[in-house]
């Protein structure tokens, strides 16, 4: 859109699926709802609130469409506004999955809902409650004035009698009328989405992943929520404005460059927006799989995204063609950006949670040790001469190395100096636990893939 173009609006039903806390089943509910409407031939566009790699994979499976993240701090209001406006022009329904509890975090999912008028659908795990369900539903709806409200869905319900008790617990008046009571989903292991230490299991690893989503979508058919057609969804329509300043032009700082990106089950934490940013910078993006021992394709720079190298440590130990070609790339002075899991495999070894050591690739000195508990979590930023990269950190391992950091990220929430993530460097190889949202500063992102030093 040109900077001098008139502001336009696009209208579409839009809901934000939230919960009082993590673990309530909101990802399953979001994916089930998306799958239900996609199966009916409706055009569904799904988004994920906050930094996350795993939930978007399930939402993409449910919708058959790319899924992007939305975060008022990390991705920014202009990016969110542009994505919602674009989606509203082509979709019959927009679904945004929340993060943590509805009011948790700064900014929270509730902040996103209020800023853009997204109607909140609260999913509550009611498996161990009856009357308290009404108090939770009432509190979520009224805690913050001006919160657009869709209604409440009871999850993991034990029986029809239990569902009636939950409905009876809602306050008298409008709370019991549609659309506030959106039904009850019975407890059923057939559509449980399995988890591991970083969150949900990757959808592509489960041969029955789509069958699980279909089973969850079928369960919604028995609820008022699942019986809503296009006309009924219209009650949640929102007018989304296009950004008034248009989309900034990305300078072609990587024009003529080829960036090789690791992509397989061990290196799967790559935002689609990051790949799009590299292409907007002028780079040609090619992919390779270290798990299948593919050598680097011809390239000028490499990106090793995060993922699960610890789950594939034995296979990666034997990926000599990938390791040796990457080592030659680094010795030739060509750039590498490795983040989180992509960094872990570069050290001498990875020690798993059972204490077993696995040889890694040895491009950086040190040992990575898996931890039983979360080692770091939260929004982070990396200040570079070319600009500020925003992103986050989320890992269950710790790095033991004699390397001195060349840079340090900072928490978006402030905090003591040195509390961020280290950035290590060897030649033009840069590595950190920091996950960058490259669209936050394309110029700074380009610097990661150029041979010049970052400082």
Question: Which residue is it, tokens 């893939």?
Answer: 449
Closest by CA to 432, choosing from 444, 440, 442, 423, is 423
Q: With contact defined as beta carbons under 8 Å apart, do 91 and 67 qualify?
A: no
Q: How far apart are CA 140 and CA 101, in angstroms?
A: 10
The backbone torsions φ and ψ at residue 170, rounded to the nearest 5 degrees and listed phi first, read -70, 145
Q: How far apart are CA 266 and CA 355, in angstroms?
A: 20
The backbone torsions φ and ψ at residue 60, rounded to the nearest 5 degrees and listed phi first, read -70, -40
Active site residue 399: no
* Per annotation, catalytic residue among 12, 49, 299, 340: 340
Which residues does residue 119 pair with via DSSP β-bridges, in sequence order? 15
How many C-alpha atoms does 448 have within 13 Å on its Cβ side? 35
Q: How far apart are CA 421 and CA 424, in angstroms?
A: 10
Instruction: Work out the burial of residue 192: count CB atoms within 10 Å of its CB; fewer than 13 is exposed, 13-18 middle, 19 or more buried.
Output: middle
Tokens of 259: 């960036």
Which residues are catalytic, by number?
A: 340
């Amino acid at each position: 859109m040109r900077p001098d173009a008139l502001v336009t609006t696009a209208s579409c039903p839009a809901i934000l699926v939230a919960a009082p806390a993590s673990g309530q089943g909101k990802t399953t509910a979001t994916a089930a709802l998306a799958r239900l409407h996609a199966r009916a031939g409706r055009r569904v566009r799904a988004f994920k609130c906050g930094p996350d790699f795993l939930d978007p994979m399930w939402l993409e499976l449910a919708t058959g469409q790319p899924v992007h993240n939305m975060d008022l701090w990390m991705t920014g209001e202009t990016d969110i506004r542009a994505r919602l406006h674009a989606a509203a022009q082509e979709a019959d329904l927009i679904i945004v999955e929340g993060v943590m509890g509805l009011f948790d975090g700064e900014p929270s999912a509730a902040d996103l809902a209020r800023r853009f008028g997204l109607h909140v659908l609260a999913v509550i795990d009611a498996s161990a409650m009856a009357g308290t369900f009404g108090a939770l539903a009432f509190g979520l709806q009224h805690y913050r004035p001006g919160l657009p409200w869709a209604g409440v869905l009871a999850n993991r319900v034990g029986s029809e009698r239990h569902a009636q008790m939950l409905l009876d617990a809602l306050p008298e008046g409008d709370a019991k009328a549609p659309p506030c009571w959106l039904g009850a989903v019975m407890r059923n292991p057939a559509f449980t989405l399995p988890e591991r230490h970083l969150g949900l299991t990757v959808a592509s690893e489960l041969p029955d992943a789509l069958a699980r989503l279909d089973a969850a979508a079928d369960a919604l058919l028995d609820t008022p929520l699942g019986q809503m057609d296009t006309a009924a969804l219209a009650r949640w329509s929102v007018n989304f404005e296009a950004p008034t300043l248009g989309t900034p032009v990305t300078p072609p700082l990587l024009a003529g460059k080829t960036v090789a990106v690791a992509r397989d089950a061990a290196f799967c934490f790559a935002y689609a927006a990051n790949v799009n940013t590299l292409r907007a910078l002028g780079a040609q993006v090619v992919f390779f799989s270290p798990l299948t021992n593919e050598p680097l394709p011809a390239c000028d720079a490499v990106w090793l995204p995060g993922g699960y190298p610890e789950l594939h440590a034995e296979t990666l130990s034997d990926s000599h063609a990938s390791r040796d070609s990457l080592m030659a790339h680094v010795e030739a002075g060509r750039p590498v950006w490795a983040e989180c899991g992509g960094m872990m495999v570069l050290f001498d070894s990875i020690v798993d949670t059972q204490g077993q050591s696995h040889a890694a690739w040895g491009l950086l000195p040190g040992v990575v040790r898996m931890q039983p508990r979360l080692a770091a979590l939260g929004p982070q930023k990396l200040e570079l001469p070319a600009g500020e990269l925003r992103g986050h950190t989320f890992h269950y391992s710790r790095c033991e190395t004699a390397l001195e950091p060349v840079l340090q990220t900072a928490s978006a929430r402030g905090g003591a100096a040195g509390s961020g993530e280290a950035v290590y460097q060897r030649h033009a190889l840069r590595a950190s636990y920091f996950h960058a949202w490259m669209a936050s500063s394309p110029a700074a992102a380009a610097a990661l893939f150029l041979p010049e030093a970052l400082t």
